[in-house]
A and B are shown apart, each in its own frame.
Chain A
Amino acid sequence: MLLSVLCSISFYFSFSNYTQKINGTTNTIEFIAIPGGQFNMGSPKNESNRKEDEGPQKTIEISPFWMSKYETTWDLYHLFMERKIDKIFQSGNYENEVSIEVDVVSRATTPYMEMSFGMGVEGYPAINMTHYAASKFCEWLSAITGNYYRLPTEAEWEYACRAGSQSAYSFGDNSSKLNEYAWYRNNSNGSYKKVGMKKPNPWGLYDMHGNVSEWTLDQYIFNGYEQRKNIVDPFLKASQTYPRTARGGSWKDTPSLLRSASRIASNSKWKKRDPQIPKSKWWHTNAPFIGFRIVRPLKTPSKDKQKMFWEK
């Protein structure tokens, strides 16, 4: 494994942490280079509070990618909601991985509710967006920066969360240490917190456990691991809106849902309070615990494949 990582690094000489600028704003996004490698996805049968959907464990191979250091904040998400910077030339990008017209990226509708639910905006994680909306954020960011961004697959997310660990959490099995690393039910006082306030995981990623649960690309299937055949960069493309998989647990959850292997299935009830028909495809009204972070694969997929990851 180490050898393959070294090979990757020597081959892709530019593979290191970087900061994505967004011209026309003072916002930036910090990315951590996640080396490729193998890991045991899922939890062992003897892990406490384990659920059946976390197994059977399988050894999975993951290609290198960058992952955002923090959960996507409202500061960034508002840029996507407002779309005022679409026409500003974004110079100084790495490569032209993506060439799509920003105009063709669908625009999010303005929500009828105040979507931060009074929990804070500047520096706080964006919440309540649908899986579709989070994907469109990625497409929009790709269009304006020229770099290819998407949501992480469920496997990439768990690999990055574990950061080489095999334990229930990236810092070990003892949930009493959770307070040092995560915002969750016992310490959140009923609200999300600014990103990056707790200790990062061994790879430098913040809030992988807790604060807000994070969208992944995959359809949620209870016994999905058992059915899985592909062990290299596995990804279960979603064919239905519900359920999709979210990871990491949130400010409202108990420690067991924050475990590296714990899986959260999205649900149509997350739009229960939306008084309109059809219900918004951009907003959940009952999910102030769902957010997302984004990744950029080292090997840029072909144009057709790029689109596939942004589709609903």
Chain B
Amino acid sequence: MRLQTNKNNDKNEFSRREFCKNTAVATGGILASSFPLKSMAHVQENKTLKLAVVGCGGRGSGAVVQALSADDNVELVAMADAFKDRIVSSLKGIQEHFSGIKKIHINEKNLYTGFNAYKKAIDKADVVILTTPPGFRPQHFEYAIANDKHVFMEKPLATDAPGIRSVLKTAKIADEKKLNVVVGLQRHYENKYIKIFDKVIKGEIGKIISGQVYWNDDGVWVKKRQSGQSELEYQMRNWYYFNWLCGDHILEQHIHNIDVANWFVGSYPVSAQGMGGRQIRNGIDHGQIFDHHFVEFTYGNGTVISSQCRHQPGTMARVDEVFQGTEGSVVLGKGEIKNLLGDITYSYPTNYWDSDNEPNPYQVEHDMLFQSIREGNVISNTEYGAKSTLTAIMGRMATYTGKIISWEQVLNSKQKLVPDNLDWDSTPPVLPNKKGEYEIPKPGVTIID
């Protein structure tokens, strides 16, 4: 099983040796000795770490606050977003959060807007936060790693398979450069999950044979079309409802639960089949995405995970992961393990809402990132982040087409949703008809290469 982080020293030693060995093989031993033992970014313990954020929505602003709280010597030096107003409100929120605690000052010149703003912001920093809509993540991640930056990036890591292939390629470079990459799948940083995973891996419920994962709730915000907006600006503002930007909610939200399934089962599915559609959330400002998906993910060992995600107000709400094993079962939401007789054999003592006793996993992500940078260690979350993203894309392909989709099929999929070299004059990759409606996938009709 992959580990949470490389905090454990033995593991680091192991990674380093493995890394040197692999490098030696690949390069005939020439480069092996030229790599420093510690991270290539050469960060000294006391150096001020410069922080840039790309994508200044609520989550990006939250991540900035967490980064600035994680380490005493971090300075926010640059911000980038497609829209100026998002930067202004983000900075205001961050300043208000720290009001009376510390002053957040940033040079006006270092606030960058537009589609290429990310480059200028990333150039200024040691550590970057990538929190735009996920369609842009692969190119931002590629640029950050090419320029030797440590990265915190939100899930999901792309909206299409070409994006994931790019992220996996970049991940290798990041590993070679020993750059830290933390991915915002925060259940990996939440005590309850870590503790229960430890019990499951030690065999407390035997071998997992099935499971159910859920993200059923009311759905998210809608940004209505405003007069005077270009089509591209409208889609960028109302990004949740456009697949090239968001990837549908099976990807954007439900990835958390699908990722837990991959984590606990210990591999990635070999195939997926499912169904979905849009029955309730089908208005003019709801773009292209479905309001429900139900997918069966089948793993190589025969384990089947049922995944359901629904955005329909007034229906059963549940966000959870449940697994059945040969010797018991576990419900992650409740933090409870039962044996086959139904007796509770373990119950997580507190819960994540217990604000006095439970660490906030969103904060822990940044605490560990900055500690790792300071100590010259390496955290690498990209591979599981990318492969869980791909799992969700696979589920989406299954519900859109109504066909069985294999892992190889999605990994090699040519469907490219995100255009290269966008600017404000570009035509967006999807356009509405005269009534303002977008093409909705039709199971049995829609074909995805």
Q: Point out residues on A near B: beta carbons under 8 Å.
A: 78, 81-82, 109-118, 121, 190, 267, 269-270, 272-279, 285-288
Contact = CB atoms under 8 A, between A and B. Distances in A.
Interface stretch (B56-64, B200-208, B264-272): B56-64
Interface in B46-89: 57-59, 61-65
Give 3 nearest A-B pairs by CB, closest first: A276-B58, A277-B61, A269-B355
A277 B360 contact: no
A82 B353 contact: no
A109 B221 contact: yes
A110 B221 CA distance: 7
Interface of B: 57-59, 61-65, 90, 93-94, 96-97, 186, 216-221, 313-314, 316-320, 333-334, 351-356, 360-362
A115 B356 CA distance: 19
Contacts of B220: 110, 112
A18 B216 CA distance: 36
A269 B354 CA distance: 9
A273 B362 contact: yes
Contacts of A274: 62
Contact of B313 (A78, A109, A190, A279): A78
Contact of B219 (A110, A116, A117): A110
A276 B221 CA distance: 14
B317 A121 contact: yes
A278 B360 contact: no
B355 A286 contact: yes
B97 A277 contact: yes
B96 A278 contact: yes
Contact of A276 (B62, B96, B317): B62
A97 B361 CA distance: 47
A176 to B, nearest CB: 26
Contact of B90 (A109, A277, A286): A277
A118 B62 contact: no
A141 to B, nearest CB: 19
Contact of B355 (A110, A190, A272): A272
Nearest to B56: A277
A170 B218 CA distance: 39
B221 A113 contact: no
B441 to A, nearest CB: 24
A82 B313 contact: yes
Nearest to A289: B353
Contacts of A115: 317
B62 A277 contact: yes
A26 to B, nearest CB: 13
Contacts of A114: 216-217, 317-319
Contacts of B354: 286
Contact of A269 (B221, B320, B356): B356
Contacts of B353: 117, 273, 285-288
Contact of B59 (A109, A118, A275, A288): A275
A273 B359 CA distance: 9
B234 to A, nearest CB: 20
Contacts of B58: 276-278
Contacts of A285: 353
A167 B159 CA distance: 62
Given A110-B218, A273-B352, A118 B94 contact: no
23 contacts: A78-B314, A110-B219, A115-B317, A118-B319, A118-B333, A121-B317, A269-B355, A272-B355, A273-B353, A273-B360, A273-B362, A274-B62, A275-B62, A275-B186, A276-B57, A277-B58, A277-B97, A278-B61, A278-B93, A286-B352, A286-B353, A286-B355, A288-B353
